[in-house]
Amino acid sequence: MREWTILTTAYLDKYWKSRGANALRAAFGQIIRTNRKQGQQLLAAPENSFPVIYILAPVIESAKLVEALPDRVKFAMYITLRRSGQNFRAKLYSDALGGSVGEPPYEALKWMILTGAKWDGPSSGHDAFDAAIDLAAAYFAEKYDDPEVYSTLAETIFRRNRQGLAIHDLVWGFFHTVSLGALAYIARNLLSSNPADVDLTCELMGFEKPATQKERQALFDEYMAWLSEHRKYLYATGEYFNQTSRPFHVRHDREAKHISKEINPRDRTALTALTSEERQTLEVFRANTQKEM
């Protein structure tokens, strides 16, 4: 195919977006039959998106081209296939990584989310591709803080909700973080012109729904001020929709704030050891709190 002799490294994505998944699979299948080396070069291109590799995965595997993929792509496909229970296929990618696969690296998770979250997968409902994005979000939120990633995930939550698609797993993963940026990306949808966005924001953040645009703006400003004031004392509660209809995903530790002690948001422990003075202050605070109850 002469067409393939002038390809840029971003050609696979362009081909998919202009002609669709089936045409991409057919065209790539033809190129690896006639020019395998060029097919390998195309797979190694850093411009490839997660959806393109996901679409081409069966062709890649049958042609024994898994080794040609960058490591971040191998990791992404490994956790995707493991998540969907396709362990035999997943082993092709773990073997290509040397057989020992640990936690997915930052680069793999970020690539999956930034290049894949805006695609809703090959089927109309929540499918294995969507589940892979949900899983990547959970892995990412456990360890990393990246405004670009959290902005993309927040947009995905609200877009899926508008489309009537499942969001619970993605929300669960997203709220593993207590990143100020991540929480702000959710809260700003209070100001959306779409009523569904406002309703979801209130549901996720535990807000009473404001009646007017002016009240929504006031609530947003109040929340952002609260977030700034309490940022060192926030922790993830682990509350979820299967436990309560109005989970509070994030709270602030009143004791930590009282002694101005920054905490680890994941396990609610102080980042530095308590001094004897801080311990005494806490004992008094707890005693007074108990009296008020």
Q: Which residues pair with 234 in a beta bridge?
A: 252
Would you say residue 6 has pLDDT above 50? Answer: no
pTM of the predicted model as reported, rounded to 2 decimal places: 0.85
**What number is the average pLDDT over the span 204-232?**
93
- In this structure, the chain runs to a length of 293
Question: What is the pLDDT, as a whole number, of residue 8?
Answer: 60
CB 112 within 8 A of CB 132: yes
Burial 16-30 (b: 16+ CB within 10 A, else e): beeeeeeebbebbee
Q: In the chain, what percentage of residues exceed pLDDT 90?
A: 65
Question: What is the pLDDT, as a whole number, of residue 293?
Answer: 62
Least confident span in 145-154, 229-238, 273-282: 229-238
Inter-axis angle of helices 11-19 and 21-34, nearest 10: 140
Which residues touch 106 (CB under 8 Å, ≥6 apart)?
140, 143, 144
- 4: which DSSP letter? G
Taking all residues of the chain, what is their mean pLDDT, rounded to a whole number?
A: 89
Two tokens, residue 237: 């509660």
CA distances from 172 to 63, 135, 138, 159 (A): 37, 10, 7, 16
Question: CA dihedral defined by 66, 78, 185, 170, rounded to 10 degrees?
Answer: 140
Question: CA dihedral defined by 22, 24, 27, 31, rounded to 10 degrees?
Answer: -140
Q: Kindly list the domain boundaries of the chain, sorted by start residue.
A: 1-69, 71-177
Task: Output the CA torsion sign for 178, 183, 184, 185.
Answer: positive
Check residue 7 and give left, alpha or beta (phi > 0: left; psi -120 to 50: alpha). Answer: beta
Two tokens, residue 206: 């535990």
Two tokens, residue 284: 């008094």
Which tens digit of pLDDT belongs to each residue from 24-74?
Answer: 999 999 999 999 999 999 999 999 999 999 999 999 999 999 999 999 999
Q: What are phi and psi of 113, to 5 degrees?
A: -75, -50
Spatial distance between the Cα atoms of 20 and 70, rounded to a whole number of angstroms:
24
Question: What is the DSSP pairing of strand 250-252 with strand 234-236?
Answer: antiparallel
More confident position, 172 or 258: 258
Spatial distance between the Cα atoms of 272 and 275, rounded to a whole number of angstroms:
9
Which residues touch 100 (CB under 8 Å, ≥6 apart)?
94
